[in-house]
Amino acid sequence: MSLSRKLLFHDRAFWRKVVDIGLPVSLSSMAFSLLGVVDVAMVTELGQDAIAAVSYGSRIMFFSYFFAMGWCGALTILAPQLVGAASTRRLQQTTLLAFYILLSMVSGLVLFYLHFTASIIELANSDPAFVAHASSYLQISVFSLLFSAIVFPIEINLRAYGKTRAISILAVGAIFLNMALNYIFLNGLLGLPQMGVAGVALGTVIARGVQATMLLVLVRKSHYRLLPPLNQILSFEPLKGLKQYLTLTLPVLAQSLAWSTGLVMFTILLGQMGVEEIALFGLIHPAESILVGFFFGFSMAASTLLGQSLGADQIAQARARALPLLVIPVALAITASVLVWLASPLIENVYRYSEFKRIDHAMTATYFVAFCLSVKVFNMIAIGGVLNSGGDVKFSMMVNVLCLWGISLPLTYYCIVVLQLDIRFVVLAMLSEDSLKSLFVLWRVRSGKWLNNLTKQDSNGETANATR
């Protein structure tokens, strides 16, 4: 029996590691996505303009989080390999560099949003009520990005060490705090004024701040040496290691920006169809994200375990582990799609409550999204878990940009602006990205070109095979 088949069917220790790393991440990711559903549900009484505003504002913040995560690209790739190579000092140096870069970039993004709020909102729709709601949401929620600049590097390092339970408990706790604060601010409880959509944004900022503070306390009081000591911080040389960091980070950042910007562009295009279409995706996208969030844990487990194997120079083991880490999640995703179909009466009732005019079109669009879930999950784990574990980031960048900006977005634009088709055909055009991408990604995984040990250094002190 091959090693891959053994891992798939018999290696309980391997799957115990996958569960220990992936399950807490999955739970926190699902809870984060659930927050999006709750945010939309809480503002339904304010009308479709408020639903559409929160949906559009959430997309912008989603783009912003990916922008921030993109600047952590090198840390995401290197951390598991450096843990596998037992190189603590290099991990601390890389973490400190990530903090400096991330805080600088996120601060600039916050200033940009505050200065150009109205222009950004009106890209989607110029309806006065929509613009007012979305502007109040964006101008407050952007400050949560500053706390994310603290949260992201710490979480990446904890996951690299397999210490995911603590961060997931904090993440889920912050999300429930967010929900409670949203309800209080939205409805004006505890003697506070009713803040509407702005209250939803304020709850997000406060909860993110609490999470960042608790993570810092956790790291400083724990035995994990994730952050460098004070003397290393004071003597930090920003240019040391910058070349390698940017070599790995820029392709990851490019694909993160390309993908997240594409999601915003989809929302802008849907805005040309009307506020109802934006509101519809304000319900579909968070619900889809809950399902995808469950499988995000598999992606993180794959990235961590494969990265540790590659960092320890166990290439054959990394190759063998890749197959089961792809097969099992895809099978589970197919099962989830069937469950969505079985839950169609409940979903239809939600659409009726939200007063959509074409329930049949909305349901068809939902079915399309659900049954594309397995393809989306495969791409997420194959790219984020398998290819990126070995620093194969240039290929990931090219295939993401090509499929989204070269195929899916132009096709969606053609369906909406030129052919003026309804939402069912528009959704099919949007989903074409994942279908085409999966063919390229499957070929790349099978080729084995992602099997790189990034901790090895050449004679000049630079990491060999830093990217392909």
| Burial (CB count within 10 angstroms: exposed 0-12, middle 13-18, buried 19+), residue 236 | middle
Structural domain including 250 reads: 3-447
- The C-alpha atoms of residue 460 and residue 223 are separated, in whole angstroms, by 34
pLDDT (0 to 100) of residue 460: 45
| β-pair partners for 457 | 463
Structure token digits, residue 112: 């940009």
215 Cβ contact partners less than 8 Å away, ≥ 6 residues apart: 150, 151, 154, 155, 167, 170
> Three-class SS of residue 48?
helix
Judged on CB neighbours under 10 Å (0-12, 13-18, 19+), 82 is buried
Instruction: Say how many domains are in the chain.
Output: 1
Indicate whether 208 belongs to any domain. yes
Low-confidence ranges of the chain (pLDDT < 50): 1, 457-462, 464, 466-467
Residue 48 belongs to a domain: yes
Q: How far apart are CA 428 and CA 433, in angstroms?
A: 9
Q: Please give the structure tokens belonging to residue 202.
A: 């304020």
Question: What is the per-residue pLDDT for 458?
Answer: 40
Residue 1: the pLDDT is 46
272: in domain: yes
Q: Which of 19, 12, 3, 27 is nearest to 329 (CA)?
A: 19
Query: In the chain, what is the straight-line distance between the N-terminal and C-terminal CA atoms, in Å?
Result: 32
Alpha-carbon span 53 to 127, nearest angstrom:
10
State how far the Cα of 434 lies from the Cα of 134, in Å rounded to an integer: 29
Q: Which residues of 409-441 are buried (b: 16+ CB within 10 A; e: fewer)?
A: bebbbebbeeeeebbbbbbbbbbbbbbbbbebb
Which residue has tokens 């830093």? 466
Is 352 in contact with 344 (CB distance < 8 Å)? no
Asked if residue 384 is part of any domain, the answer here is yes
In a domain, 454, yes or no: no
Q: What is the pLDDT of residue 381?
A: 92
In sequence order, the 6+-apart residues with CB closer than 8 A to the CB of 247 are 74, 466, 467
> DSSP secondary-structure letter at 463?
B
User: Does residue 457 fall inside a structural domain?
Assistant: no
- The per-residue pLDDT for 257 is 77
Answer yes or no: are the C-beta atoms of 60 and 263 closer than 8 Å: no
Tell me if 381 is assigned to some domain. Answer: yes
Q: Which residues, 6 or more positions from 462, have their beta carbon under 8 angstroms from its beta carbon?
A: 243, 244
For residue 20, give the nearest of 224, 222, 166, 162 by alpha carbon. 162
